[in-house]
Amino acid sequence: MIQKLLSRTCNTHGQDSSYFLGWQEYEKNPYDPIANPTGIIQMGLAENQLCFDLIESWLEKNPGPAGFKEDGALIFRELALFQDYHGLPAFKNALVKYMGEVRGNRVRFDPNNLVLTAGSTCANEILMFCLADPGEAFLLPTPYYPGFDRDLKWRTGAEIVPVHCSSSNGFRITAAALEEAYHRAHKRGLAVKGVLVTNPSNPLGTAMTRRELDELVDFVVAKDIHLVSDEIYAGTNFAEPGFVSVAEVVADGRAEACRGRIHIVCSLSKDLGLPGFRVGGIYSDNEAVVSAATKMSSFGLVSSQTQYLLAALLSDEAFTAEYVAENRRRLRERHDALVRGLRGIGIECLESGAGLFCWVDMRHLLSAVTFEGEMELWKKIVYKVGLNISPGSSCHCDEPGWFRLCFANMSEDTLSLALSRLQTFVGSCRNRPHCSGGDGRTRRQFLARWVLRSSPASDRKSER
Ligand SMILES: Cc1ncc(COP(=O)(O)O)c(C=O)c1O
């Protein structure tokens, strides 16, 4: 077999999950209001398409940067030749200013501590290369972004140890859960090098409170390990109390204890809705990390014309101020429409105030409160209802029956259609005994059964 001639890395890919499978199914039969009205609606993609009009209108008013022009003169040759992995100073200055702005200007970022990368996918992997040797572990609170299994582990050989979070406290990260994961890793013979959190969370859409962040920082300081805070969703926060960056915690009198161990990941893929531009970064006060990461960024640089264009866009203070406020307003409106629509058909969401998705409780629709039951429901929703949503198991959720539904990558009409398809499905479940929502059981009976089934001996035995 030709496969034998390939490397172990080449023969694996870290993408075996229903998260990616759902995307493939969508690609085979994508919904289009005119060309394919019965196709699958993509609700499994955390893309933000709500504010393209604002960027397009800026581009119309400012044709220079996209046309490689500066003060009317063509600078094509300069940009074509630029290849410094430190990045264009004008872009780095504009990006750190924007990072401060989406964090309410409560904290300032120094461009010398920023390494530019081709998106946060690249940033997270580089950080793993810098902070962990093969076989060493990072603790990740569950549920987490399914791409991390690929981004953090695949090429680096690092391990992920889940920090089990549960619906009983809204999937909040607790000191006890962190300790438990740390000791579990040690029992498995794994050296723990750090904790990686996504704040605000994908898939939960919740932001960590100041108290939770303080506890997390205390934990990494006490254990003498690193903290990676993936803040890719920082600019999508639309609720009060707002998002708090770990940078604020460090700035508030903890700089000494935290020196060299806190690393922030940023990206323009979510708030600005530019995943195709591939722009992200690592922000760290650890000189060795910044130096190594800068060299590693050679494998995934941000192109010079992208940097040039975005330097102009992000330096326009009037534009960024309007964009940040309007994006928040539109995200909130869309989030509320999804939550209201789901509630109308008897489906509740975890309360959230950020992100491009809701974390949706469909436990009452399971035929069995198991991960098999979850997959059965997921397949029905993809193939029969025609919605690609992400099952909680693909995010390593410990409890079957939770799903992530994205709301910002489609029009309002498409969202209404998705809700009406779901309503028809839930209605049909009520008339069929194998859908647990309709067979007469009360919510209390359902929960009792769930508590029994979710004892550590049954569902937690495998580290999915
Ligand atoms: C938590 C998290 N980190 C990283 C990424 C990757 O984003 P990027 O497009 O910046 O590589 C995503 C994308 O969904 C994400 O949700």
Query: What are the pLDDT digits (tens) for 11-21?
Result: 777 666 777 78
Sign of CA dihedral 42, 46, 51, 53: negative
CATH of domain 3-51+325-463: 3.90.1150.10
Among 202, 231, 263, 404, residue to substitute to test ligand 1 (most atoms within 8 Å of Cβ)? 202
Cα gap 129→359, rounded to integer Å: 31
* Span from the CA of 269 to the centroid of ligand 1 (angstroms): 7
Q: Is the CB of 198 under 6 A from ligand 1?
A: yes
Q: Is the CB of 121 under 6 A from ligand 1?
A: yes
Q: Is the CB of 46 under 6 A from ligand 1?
A: yes
Sign of CA dihedral 161, 167, 169, 170: positive
Q: Is the CB of 204 under 6 A from ligand 1?
A: no
The answer on pLDDT for 2 being more than 90 is no
Q: Is 187 a catalytic residue?
A: no
The answer on pLDDT for 449 being more than 60 is no
Q: Is 31 a catalytic residue?
A: no
Is the separation of the CB atoms in 234 and 102 below 8 Å? yes
Q: Is 230 a catalytic residue?
A: yes
Q: Is the pTM of this model over 0.85?
A: yes
* Span from the CA of 119 to the centroid of ligand 1 (angstroms): 7
Q: Is the CB of 48 under 6 A from ligand 1?
A: no
Cα gap 390→381, rounded to integer Å: 10
Laid out side by side, the sheet with 390-391 consists of: 348-349, 357-361, 402-406, 390-391
The per-residue pLDDT for range 242-265, each reduced to its tens digit, is 899 999 999 988 989 999 999 999
pLDDT at 445: 41
pLDDT at 346: 96
Count how many Cα atoms sit within 13 Å of the Cα of residue 11 in the half-sphere of its side chain.
8
The per-residue pLDDT for range 301-357, each reduced to its tens digit, is 999 999 999 999 999 999 999 999 999 999 999 999 999 999 999 999 999 999 999
**Residues with Cβ < 8 Å from 220, sequence gap 6 or more?**
194, 195, 226, 227, 261, 262
Q: Is the CB of 280 under 6 A from ligand 1?
A: yes
Provide the 8-state DSSP code for 191: P
Question: Which residue type is seen at 274?
Answer: L
pLDDT band at 451 (very low <50, low <70, confident <90, very high): very low
**Residues with Cβ < 8 Å from 464, sequence gap 6 or more?**
162, 393, 396
Q: Is the CB of 390 under 6 A from ligand 1?
A: no
Cα gap 361→349, rounded to integer Å: 6
DSSP string, 297-329: GGGGPPPHHHHHHHHHHHH-HHHHHHHHHHHHH
Cα gap 193→290, rounded to integer Å: 18
Closest protein CA for atom 13 of ligand 1:
46
Q: Is the CB of 232 under 6 A from ligand 1?
A: yes
The tokens 């809700």 sit on which residue?
419
Domain ranges of the chain: 3-51+325-463, 67-319
Q: Which ligand 1 atom is nearest residue 121's CA?
A: 11
Q: Which ligand 1 atom is nearest residue 46's CA?
A: 14
* Span from the CA of 45 to the centroid of ligand 1 (angstroms): 11
Over its C-alpha atoms, the chain yields an Rg (Å, rounded) of 23
Work out the number of other CB atoms within 10 angstroms of the CB of residue 339: 19
DSSP string, 55-85: HHHHHHH-HHHHTTEETTEE-HHHHHH---T
Helix (H, G, I), strand (E, B) or coil at 194: strand
The tokens 């889940």 sit on which residue?
162
Cα gap 365→349, rounded to integer Å: 14
Q: What's the token pair of residue 45?
A: 């993609």
**Residues with Cβ < 8 Å from 63, sequence gap 6 or more?**
69
Catalytic choice (40, 232, 381, 389): 232
pLDDT at 447: 36
* Span from the CA of 121 to the centroid of ligand 1 (angstroms): 6
pLDDT band at 398 (very low <50, low <70, confident <90, very high): very high
Q: Is the CB of 117 under 6 A from ligand 1?
A: no
* Span from the CA of 171 to the centroid of ligand 1 (angstroms): 20
Q: Is 193 a catalytic residue?
A: no
- Domain 67-319 has what CATH class? alpha beta
Is the separation of the CB atoms in 118 and 213 below 8 Å? no
Query: 133: phi > 0 → left, psi -120 to 50 → alpha, else beta; which?
Result: beta
